[in-house]
């Protein structure tokens, strides 16, 4: 039986993926690299350590990577964070998890500071039992480090947990940590793309998953361990 759900937060519990893409667009533009917003949005879900090499040539990276990360963090927190909104029914969903005796945890590529702000925005500070962020991992998604750290904090094996995410990078990272993943399309990826990436199920949103909770992979007999 599933005992814990390790949730991504950007694009899964809060509406932020396109805002992150805009912030990266500004930061990359500051070093003379111009990228279309949708191209950037398809990289959101990775940490900066994985996203930057996609767009910044190796010979330039040594000089601009750290300043660009700091600049992106600053402009996101100043200009974009105030526009982040919770996705519908997020608090209700976490309450339903607890009712089903499934422990809600966060496993996010966000930094610890942003994660605290997201929890306030989504009104879930009192519901999250454990959390890991980019600060707890050597490598960000699609590497498994963040999920593996969350499992250690929960003191549970992967067979007793599932992951929830909105990007193929969540499914890839969770899979490498031995976790099955439920996908939601609120991050901009299609149901087909999420299933192809390894998600066992895909829903339109957390609200949709909540509406179908009793027949979802979280509780149905066919996927109980």
151 near 194, Cβ under 8 Å? no
123 near 145, Cβ under 8 Å? no
Go through the domains of the chain in sequence order and give each one's CATH number: 4-15+85-223 (3.40.50.1000), 17-83 (1.10.150)
C-alpha to C-alpha distance for 216 and 155, rounded to whole angstroms = 24
Checking if the pLDDT of 162 tops 60, the result is yes
The total number of residues written for the chain in this structure: 225
The 10 Å Cβ neighbour count of residue 63 is 11
C-alpha to C-alpha distance for 124 and 120, rounded to whole angstroms = 7
Could you report the per-residue pLDDT of 2-42, keeping only the tens digit for each? 999 999 999 999 999 999 999 999 999 999 999 999 999 99
80 near 23, Cβ under 8 Å? yes
Closest CA to 55 of 70, 33, 71: 33
Could you report the per-residue pLDDT of 114-150, keeping only the tens digit for each? 999 999 999 999 999 999 998 898 898 999 999 999 9
DSSP state letters, 38-106: HHHHTTBTB-HHHHHHHHS-HHHHHHHHHHHHHHHHHHIIIIIGGG-EEPTTHHHHHHHHHHTT-EEEE
φ/ψ of 2, rounded to 5, equals -70, 125
Q: Name the average pLDDT for the chain.
A: 95
pLDDT value at residue 224: 41
C-alpha to C-alpha distance for 109 and 121, rounded to whole angstroms = 17
pTM above 0.85, yes or no: yes
pLDDT value at residue 220: 82
pLDDT value at residue 223: 44
Checking if the pLDDT of 217 tops 60, the result is yes
- Which residues have CB under 8 Å from 39's CB, separation 6+? none
177 near 148, Cβ under 8 Å? yes
C-alpha to C-alpha distance for 104 and 209, rounded to whole angstroms = 15
- Which residues have CB under 8 Å from 41's CB, separation 6+? 17, 18, 21, 188
φ/ψ of 104, rounded to 5, equals -80, 130
**Quick one: pLDDT band at residue 167, thresholds 50, 70, 90?**
very high
C-alpha to C-alpha distance for 33 and 20, rounded to whole angstroms = 16
Could you report the per-residue pLDDT of 39-98, keeping only the tens digit for each? 999 999 998 999 999 999 999 998 999 999 999 999 999 999 999 999 999 999 999 999
């Amino acid at each position: 039986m599933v005992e814990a759900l390790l949730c991504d937060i950007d694009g899964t519990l809060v509406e932020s993926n396109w805002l992150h893409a805009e912030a990266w667009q500004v930061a990359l533009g500051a070093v003379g690299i111009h990228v279309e917003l949708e191209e950037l949005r398809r990289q959101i879900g990775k940490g900066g350590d994985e996203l930057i090499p996609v767009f910044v040539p190796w010979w330039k990276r040594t000089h601009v990577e750290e300043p660009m990360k700091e600049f992106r963090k600053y402009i996101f927190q100043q200009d974009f964070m105030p526009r982040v909104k919770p996705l519908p029914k997020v608090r209700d969903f976490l309450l339903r998890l607890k009712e089903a005796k499934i422990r809600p945890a966060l496993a996010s590529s966000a930094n610890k500071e942003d994660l605290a702000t997201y929890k306030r925005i989504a009104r879930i500070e009192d519901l999250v039992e454990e959390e890991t962020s980019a600060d707890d991992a050597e490598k960000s998604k699609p590497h498994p480090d963040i999920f593996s750290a969350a499992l250690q904090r929960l003191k549970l094996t992967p067979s007793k947990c599932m992951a929830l995410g909105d990007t193929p990078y969540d499914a890839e990272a969770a899979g490498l940590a031995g976790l099955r993943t439920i996908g939601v399309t609120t991050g901009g990826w299609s149901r087909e793309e999420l299933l192809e990436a390894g998600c066992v199920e895909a829903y339109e949103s957390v609200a949709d998953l909540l509406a179908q909770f009793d027949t979802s992979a979280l509780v149905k007999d066919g996927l109980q361990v």
